[in-house]
Amino acid sequence: MVTIRVDEISNIICERIEQYNREVKIVNTGTVLQVGDGIARIHGLDEVMAGELVEFEEGTIGIALNLESNNVGVVLMGDGLMIQEGSSVKATGKIAQIPVSEAYLGRVINALAKPIDGRGEISASESRLIESPAPSIISRRSVYEPLQTGLIAIDSMIPIGRGQRELIIGDRQTGKTAVATDTILNQQGQNVICVYVAIGQKASSVAQVVTTFQERGAMEYTIVVAETADSPATLQYLCYIWHDYIQVLISFK
């Protein structure tokens, strides 16, 4: 028979007490009142922040945008077909952000910075808010260096400067995409990072543009962000604001 002294029992109890780690986790939860057309009305998220990410019971992520006294309007970053009225929602305490890294060069991603080119995940150690504040006019460097598009008519008559915003507008089938792709192709060796954003286009059209970039070696300095015509309106909106301090060429449907 094994005998245990009283002092040993006391030491064991004290040791267990010291090792005990009680974690209290407070979760801000709510209930789905209504869902449809990419928007959900949530009741109970009293302490949610504007722009905060919320997670639905079936895994869909949303962004809290409309904060009212008795409910919260959440835009869904997904189709939300599995969300049911009465299901639970929890706040994550995080503002909508996406990872940033030079590893994104040469990749095709969606509006949430998830790769859609079948080449595996992209490692990134930093992240940045989607709604980042724009730098003030005073802090910006003046436009002093031209951005050569490779199109003689543009470069000679209406030259574009690096850091300048320029709208490409026209009717369907008038060559808007060709102007954008030619400009990107002409940046090879110019120390320019290009982001080609395709909003509401057909997947085949996006694939054709990516193939052109790959054949001409332009994907080495280019990121393609795409949300096709069948993507939710929320993701297409996020795709539109997916840019930050770099040359962005946006192509609409």
Where exactly are the structural domains of the chain? 1-95, 100-252
Span 120-142, mean pLDDT?
Answer: 82
Give the strand order in the sheet containing 247-252. 108-109, 222-227, 194-199, 247-252
Q: What is the pTM of this model?
A: 0.76
Instruction: Enter the CATH code of domain 1-95.
Output: 2.40.30.20
Burial of residue 233 (number of CB atoms within 10 Å: 0-12, 13-18, 19+): middle
Task: Give yes or no for a contact between 231 and 109, defined as CB atoms under 8 angstroms apart.
Answer: no
Closest CA to 206 of 149, 250, 162: 250
Res 244: pLDDT: 41
Res 208: pLDDT: 93
- Per-residue pLDDT tens digits for 57-102: 888 889 998 898 889 999 888 878 889 899 999 999 888 888 888 8
Average pLDDT, the chain: 84
Confidence of residue 31 (pLDDT cuts 50, 70, 90): very high
Q: 1-95 and 100-252: same fold? A: no
Res 216: pLDDT: 93
CATH tag for 100-252 (out of 3.40.50.300, 2.130.10.10, 3.60.15.10, 3.40.50.1360): 3.40.50.300
Give every CB contact of residue 238 below 8 A, 6+ residues apart in sequence: 77, 111, 112, 130, 227
- Per-residue pLDDT tens digits for 179-201: 989 999 999 988 888 889 888 88
